[in-house]
């Protein structure tokens, strides 16, 4: 005992010292696509390490300088940052905002603040993966640790693999089945009070690129229209609760009608991680518990399937980063697109002479958002009626969408163009039958193409507006013939298949 006891005491003291020191040293949490304080795995882990935690966001100049930044998206993001900054203040801490190159700024700030460790949540995009590796290396060179977590998905890439050969899924339905079976994590532990940085500490990082939160205008963007979703955590949670208390029970059918408010409109919150995915999952489980109707439960599961689509496309992007720059099916590299500039312009402006297509494109241009049914219609129209490379449409969507997201957008475009992983069946949407089925009263068309709003519904949904009537409304004749173009597309598709 005389020999053992001091040894035990030493061991205990060492543990105690470690715990104490780890609780007093400061840490940085680097926010990227997780602009919230609740249900945030990386942030929660950082807080468990130390309550002297400072939040950091870096407006990445490389991203801002790209030509695919949507004014609506940047406006929403800045609003979310404002909300996040207030959340930090309420907890007694700070969110520091920088502008520049994160691979330089993060290590410099970490060094200047003498932090123990920088924490963040992983991302699947090729650009983010490369940038994060550079940050990890630069931190290592300075002797600073980094800790990263998967937060934005219920199941991280690698968690859902095929049973037969442990490979990533390339087809959605079997992915969904495996995904659903896996146990989902609980909501991440909430943060308590934060210790704030001293004035001296803030002064040491002031000259490293710290900025006041800019407006979209300061960054060269202008967006005055109302956003489909108010920025910030509170608004996202309210919308989630509203959706899960009501619309979710009729989602399966209602989600198809662009004239109806039948979907969650949470996509901007998902894009920027303004809502925690575990919280979303819990909300669907509560909705499930609140009904005994099998039909209502089926509706809830249909919405859960959309959450799984989002995860499927993110897994695909993670494992097949080449998706970001071209068609998944190599034979599509040789597809003979028409790429008619005037047709493309007409599509962008909502002036194709196809009312449902024009309504959708105008909704996008005016609100920064488009209903999913219409995204499929206009994507099919661009690729299969106008025979224009899907990458043109993909980029235009990124330049406009409030929820523009590489994985979901690329997935949607490659699905529509038939260039992606799951090309069967060859999907060609007929704009007229889509409008007849999903906008039967022409309500949506009337809203977005007001110059034809007084015409008969039949004209609006079939798109067969007599030339004289169209002319007197100032509306155009269709720029291409759907049937003819469909035949043409199939012919060219046969050539690449052979
Ligand atoms: P809900 O119907 O309420 O669905 C809930 C959530 O599930 C959505 O917010 C979204 O995060 C996810 N989701 C739903 N459908 C899909 C899908 N097909 N693929 C991936 N995730 C999905 N979604 C984006 O978030 N960003 C994009 O840039 C994007 N581009 C698209 C481009 C094309 C050509 C197509 C066909 C679809 C695209 N989508 C994109 C998917 C889908 O249209 C939107 O997610 C949906 O319309 C957003 O509205 P909501 O939030 O009301 O969706």
251-262: pLDDT as tens digits: 999 999 999 999
Nearest CA to ligand 1 atom 21: 310
Nearest CA to ligand 1 atom 11: 267
* pLDDT at 207 (0 to 100): 84
For residue 139, pLDDT over 80 is answered with yes
* pLDDT at 425 (0 to 100): 80
Confidence of residue 155 (pLDDT cuts 50, 70, 90): very high
Confidence of residue 449 (pLDDT cuts 50, 70, 90): very high
* pLDDT at 430 (0 to 100): 98
The reply to whether ipTM tops 0.90 is yes
CA of 267 to the centre of ligand 1 (A): 6
Mean of the pLDDT values across residues 206-235? 95
* pLDDT at 422 (0 to 100): 81
391-402: pLDDT as tens digits: 999 999 999 999
Is 310 annotated as a binding-site member? Answer: yes
* pLDDT at 396 (0 to 100): 98
For residue 330, pLDDT over 60 is answered with yes
Confidence of residue 498 (pLDDT cuts 50, 70, 90): confident
Residue to mutate (ligand 1; options 72, 306, 391; most atoms within 8 A of CB) = 306
For residue 263, pLDDT over 80 is answered with yes
Q: For residue 425, say if its preceding peptide bond is cis, omega within 30 degrees of 0.
A: yes
In the annotation, is 309 catalytic?
yes
* pLDDT at 119 (0 to 100): 98
* pLDDT at 420 (0 to 100): 93
For residue 357, pLDDT over 60 is answered with yes
In the annotation, is 413 catalytic?
yes
For residue 4, pLDDT over 70 is answered with no
* Mean of pLDDT over the chain: 94
Q: Pick the catalytic residue: 101, 250, 372, 469?
A: 372
Mean of the pLDDT values across residues 392-418? 98
For residue 338, pLDDT over 60 is answered with yes
Q: Which range among 10-19, 180-189, 278-287 shows the weakest confidence by mean pLDDT?
A: 10-19
- Per-residue HEC secondary structure of the chain comes to CCCHHHHHHHHHHHHHHHHHHHHHCCEEEEECCCCCCCCCHHHHHHHHHCCCEEEEEEEEHHHHCCCCCCHHHHHHHHHHHHHHHHHHHHCCCCEEEEEECHHHHHHHHHHHHCCCEEEEECCCCHHHHHHHHHHHHHHHHCCCEEEEECCCCCCCCCCCECCCCCCECCCHHHHHHHHHHCCCCCCCCCCCCCCCCCHHHHHHHHCCCECCCCCCCCCCCCCCCCCCCCCCHHHHHHHHHHHHHCHHHHHHHHCCCCCCCCCCCCHHHHHCCCCCHHHHHHHHHHHHHCCCCHHHHHHHHHHHHHHHHHHHHHHHHHHCHHHHHCCCCHHHHHCCCCCCHHHHHHHHHCCCCCHHHHHHHHHHHHHCCCCHHHHHHHHHHHHHHCCCCHHHHHHHHHHHCCCCCHHHHHHHHHHHHCCCCCCCCCCCCCHHHHHHHHCCCCHHHHHHCHHHCCCCHHHHHHCCCCHHHHHHHCCCCCCCCHHHHHHHHHHHHHHHHC
Confirm if 222 and 363 have CB atoms less than 8 A apart. Answer: no
Confidence of residue 25 (pLDDT cuts 50, 70, 90): confident
* pLDDT at 482 (0 to 100): 98
**Percent of the chain, pLDDT > 90?**
90
Confidence of residue 6 (pLDDT cuts 50, 70, 90): very low
Mean of the pLDDT values across residues 175-189? 98
For residue 341, pLDDT over 50 is answered with yes
For residue 2, pLDDT over 80 is answered with no
CA of 413 to the centre of ligand 1 (A): 11
Q: Could you give the CA distance from residue 8 to residue 14 in angstroms, rounded to a whole number?
A: 10
For residue 10, pLDDT over 60 is answered with no
Q: Which range among 37-46, 199-208, 279-288 shows the weakest confidence by mean pLDDT?
A: 199-208
Residue to mutate (ligand 1; options 33, 176, 369, 372; most atoms within 8 A of CB) = 372
Confidence of residue 497 (pLDDT cuts 50, 70, 90): confident
Is 251 annotated as a binding-site member? Answer: yes
Residues with CB under 6 A from ligand 1: 255, 263-267, 270-271, 306-307, 309-310, 313, 372, 375-376, 379, 397, 401, 403-405, 408-409, 411-413, 416
Mean of the pLDDT values across residues 203-221? 93
In the annotation, is 369 catalytic?
no
């Amino acid at each position: 005992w005389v020999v053992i006891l001091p040894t035990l005491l030493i061991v205990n003291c060492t543990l105690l010292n470690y715990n104490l020191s780890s609780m007093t040293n400061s840490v940085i949490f680097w926010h990227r696509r997780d602009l919230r304080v609740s249900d945030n795995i990386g942030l929660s882990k950082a807080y468990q390490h130390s309550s002297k935690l400072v939040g950091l966001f870096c407006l990445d100049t490389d991203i801002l300088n790209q030509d695919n930044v949507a004014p609506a998206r940047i406006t929403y993001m800045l609003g979310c940052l404002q909300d996040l900054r207030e959340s930090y203040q309420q907890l007694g801490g700070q969110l520091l905002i920088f502008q520049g190159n994160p691979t330089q700024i993060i290590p410099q700030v970490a060094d200047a603040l003498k932090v123990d460790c920088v924490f963040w949540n992983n991302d699947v995009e090729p650009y983010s993966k490369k940038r994060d590796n550079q940050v990890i290396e630069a931190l290592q060179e300075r002797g600073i640790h980094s800790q990263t977590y998967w937060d934005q998905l219920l199941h991280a890439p690698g968690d859902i693999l095929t049973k037969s050969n442990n490979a990533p899924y390339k087809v959605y339905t079997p992915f969904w089945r495996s995904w659903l079976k896996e146990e989902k994590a609980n909501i991440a532990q909430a943060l308590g009070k934060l210790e704030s940085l001293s004035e001296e500490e803030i002064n040491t990082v002031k000259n490293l690129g710290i900025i006041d939160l800019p407006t979209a205008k300061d960054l060269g963007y202008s967006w005055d229209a109302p956003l489909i979703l108010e920025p910030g955590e509170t608004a996202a949670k309210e919308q989630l609760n509203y959706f899960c208390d009501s619309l979710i029970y009729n989602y399966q059918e209602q989600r198809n009608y662009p004239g109806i408010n039948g979907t969650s409109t949470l996509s901007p919150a998902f894009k920027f991680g303004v809502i925690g995915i575990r919280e979303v999952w819990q909300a669907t489980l509560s909705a499930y518990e609140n009904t005994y109707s099998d039909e209502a439960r089926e509706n809830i599961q249909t919405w859960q399937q959309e959450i799984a689509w989002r995860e499927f496309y993110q897994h695909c992007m993670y494992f097949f980063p080449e998706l970001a720059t071209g068609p998944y099916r190599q034979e599509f590299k040789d597809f003979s697109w028409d790429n008619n500039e005037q047709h493309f312009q007409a599509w962008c402006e909502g002036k194709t002479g196809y009312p449902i297509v024009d309504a959708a494109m105008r909704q996008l241009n005016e609100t920064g958002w488009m209903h999913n049914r219409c995204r499929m219609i206009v994507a099919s129209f661009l690729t299969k009626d106008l025979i224009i490379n899907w990458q043109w449409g993909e980029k235009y969507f990124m330049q406009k969408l409030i929820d523009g997201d590489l994985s979901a957008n690329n997935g949607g475009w490659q699905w529509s163009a038939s260039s992606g992983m799951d090309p069967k069946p060859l999907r060609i949407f007929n704009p007229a039958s889509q409008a007849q089925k999903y906008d039967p009263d022409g309500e949506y068309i009337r809203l977005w193409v007001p110059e034809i709003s007084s015409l008969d519904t039949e004209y609006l949904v079939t798109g067969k507006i007599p030339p004289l009537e169209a002319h007197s409304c100032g509306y155009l004749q269709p720029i291409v013939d759907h049937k003819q173009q469909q035949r043409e597309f199939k012919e060219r598709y046969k050539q690449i298949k052979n």
